[in-house]
Chains A and B, each alone.
Chain A
Amino acid sequence: MGFLDISNATKSYGSVEVLHRVDISVEEGEFLVLVGPSGCGKSTLLNMIAGLEDITTGEISIKGQAMNGVHPSKRNIAMVFQSYALYPNMTVGQNITFGLEMHGVPKADRDSAMNDVAEMLQIKQLLDRKPGQLSGGQRQRVAMGRALVRDPDVFLFDEPLSNLDAKLRVDMRTEIKKLHQNLGTTIVYVTHDQIEAMTLSTRIAVMNGGYVQQLGTPKEIYDTPANLFVASFMGSPSMNLLPATIRVEGNAIHAEIARDGGPVRLAMADPSPKLKTYDGQEIVLGIRPEAITDLDGADRQSTHIEQIDVKIDVTEPAGSDTFITTTLGGKDCIGRMRADADVQPGQSVTLAINMEKAIPFDKGTEDRIV
């Protein structure tokens, strides 16, 4: 029994089920991020927690109280919307205290709560302005202030940073994280940006097609993705997914990958019994770009470094790193070299592949082979 429990919740519009049996339990003080592409049902789930959408079957409870059918204002939640949804006709101060006013809080208490929040978010000088006179970042702060002032049990964020420019987005991300660390509040946060999900959350629910694909800590999601969707959705540049054939020789398991000038064989770091049953079959081998490096850049802690020679197709110097593209298994394969690695397109280089980070997936079911 957690702080916020979503048990077996589904959502249907008519006969179309858009959210299938979601089961998530959030502890107090957790920062849960719902991440996925558009139309995956993440915003619908958030609206169901907020009470803006009905729950078709199942139950959502906060602090052990079932919330099905409870009006949004009675759930002790606060929500920050993508468009900020500031009331255009009210000043910033009135925007922040509107919720308190509607809940019948006396004026003096409202004002002191407003001042505390304005102090915390550094928006004191904006209190008399109208939302139309504020910049995007300021509006964002006001929207957060409006949520904070209510001192709710659960904060709900619906893609709050997607209307900001790139630099401001990174700043506000840090600020939201600080806020969470200082206040220790319970937050459910919806985004389609996997970097926001990784950096902010204590746990991530990756969603697709109305299903929760995987629920886990950012590290679990990143290092041991449950299936091909999670593997390719999380991480930038995304994980290389290479067709490979399993070859079992005694205790050793090799993945054989096609390459110009003869196939390469990579020894799998973890020779699990399950993987052995795939002898001779084709699988998908997932390797993150940072596990494919130049020799000097290879992880010294790793005991399973494989070296292969490849021809470089494209180089992309990104300042902090240089990304290279080569062809493995008939697909583009991206590797991450050190920034000053001397590589040219068309050149042949030796790459170090950290096989401890390589993940085998079943080609049919798309699930990770464990």
Chain B
Amino acid sequence: MAVASTDTAIRTGRVTRTVLYVVLLVFALFYLLPLFIMVANSLKPLSEITGGNMLALPQTWTIEPWLAAWSTAQVGVEPTGLKPYFWNSIRMVVPAVVISTVLGALNGYVLTKWRFRGDTILFGLMLFSCFIPFQIVLIPMARILGLAGLAGSTTGLVLVHVVYGIGFSTLYFRNYYAAFPTELVRAAMIDGAGFFQIFWRILLPSSGPIIVVCVIWQFTNIWNDFLFGASFASGDGAPMTVALNNLVQSSTGVKEYNVHFAGAILAALPTLLVYIVAGRYFVRGLMAGSVKG
């Protein structure tokens, strides 16, 4: 009896597992298909694409479309490729991520360890910025950037993204530090450490996972942003996403689909890289504090 039921358990376990893996495989293929088409077509000469089958592997392999997308393709009116705009994006995303992460960490530290009257209300107000649609602030933001003399500049874009990023980064760090033992802060106070020394020597060294989460989140959002980029930075100052749009929309001559595919992958590469390098901390950081240990 006992033996029989164990056998049944093993058999049903095997069946469930097989079904599970088949389903997972189907989903994985489904999600990989677009990537496959993009990669495959970016490595073909244009004639193979216009000639017919988009799903086929290249007959002649070429990296010519990638080189074109990077340095010679027509973006708007200039044949510069995406290269200058890629650096625009880097110049925008790095300071914006660093500043919003540092400010978020400081906010989280103050909101949990240096509580003051009305701190929860202040935190609630900051959370609003996570939920206000970008479109609403376009006109007021344009006015402010204009008044500050930052209109159309990368610095202006950095400012916009920092302002929008603080809401999320504060949320992350506040929740992380809420689970951080207050006794440690008190011990450091008795030991004679000041406000910034406690932050720098005690809290930050223990904040690895949440810093990774915050950086991934901010990097992805800011890198992928199109609306602010299109609205506040034009021409030479445009970020990668806007340039990609211009590349695809450029209407001189034939549509170079293979170059467009290569350009789109180039635009997505940095975020992909950040996920691969730091992704395993992402889930860990999101779960931090929810379970003891």
Contacts and interface: CB of A to CB of B under 8 A. Distances in A.
A85 B192 contact: no
Contacts of A103: 192
A79 B197 CA distance: 19
Interface stretch (A70-78, A181-189, A320-328): A70-78
Contacts of A88: 184, 206
Interface of B: 181, 183-184, 186-193, 197, 201-202, 205-206
A102 B192 contact: yes
A79 B190 CA distance: 8
A85 B197 contact: no
A98 B201 CA distance: 10
A282 to B, nearest CB: 48
A57 B189 CA distance: 23
Interface string A39-54: 0000000000011100
A79 B183 CA distance: 10
A89 interface: yes
Query: Which one of B184, B186, B187, B202 has the highest number of Cβ atoms from chain A below 10 Å of its Cβ?
Result: B187
B263 to A, nearest CB: 44
Contacts of A78: 190
A81 interface: yes
B183 A87 contact: no
A77 B190 contact: yes
A73 B192 CA distance: 5
B191 A85 contact: no
A98 B188 contact: yes
A73 B206 contact: no
A85 B205 contact: no
Contact of A85 (B181, B193, B201, B206): B181
A88 B185 CA distance: 12
Contacts of B186: 50, 52, 72, 79, 81, 85
Contact of B184 (A51, A52, A82, A87): A87
Interface in A72-125: 72-73, 77-79, 81-83, 85, 87-89, 98-99, 102-103
Contacts of B183: 81-83, 85
A25 B188 CA distance: 28
A264 to B, nearest CB: 53
Nearest to B197: A102
A138 B96 CA distance: 44
11 contacts: A72-B190, A77-B190, A79-B187, A79-B190, A85-B183, A85-B187, A88-B206, A98-B193, A102-B197, A103-B192, A146-B187
Contacts of B191: 73, 98-99, 102, 146
A79 B186 CA distance: 9
Contacts of B187: 79, 81, 85, 87, 146
Query: Which one of A50, A99, A102, A146 has the highest number of Cβ atoms from chain B below 10 Å of its Cβ?
Result: A102
A81 B188 CA distance: 12
A30 B172 CA distance: 47
Nearest to A83: B183
A87 B188 CA distance: 9
Nearest to A102: B192
Contacts of A50: 186, 190
A85 B189 contact: no
Contacts of A77: 190
Contacts of A52: 186, 189-190
A99 B181 CA distance: 18
A99 B192 contact: yes
Contacts of A82: 183
A369 to B, nearest CB: 44
Nearest to B194: A102
B196 to A, nearest CB: 12
Q: Which 9 A-B pairs have the closest CB atoms?
A: A73-B192, A99-B191, A102-B192, A89-B205, A85-B187, A85-B183, A72-B190, A81-B183, A102-B193
A89 B190 contact: no
Nearest to B202: A87
A51 B197 CA distance: 19
B189 A72 contact: yes
Contacts of A146: 187, 191
Nearest to A156: B190
Query: Which one of A50, A78, A87, A103 has the highest number of Cβ atoms from chain B below 10 Å of its Cβ?
Result: A87
Contacts of B201: 87, 98
A107 B180 CA distance: 29
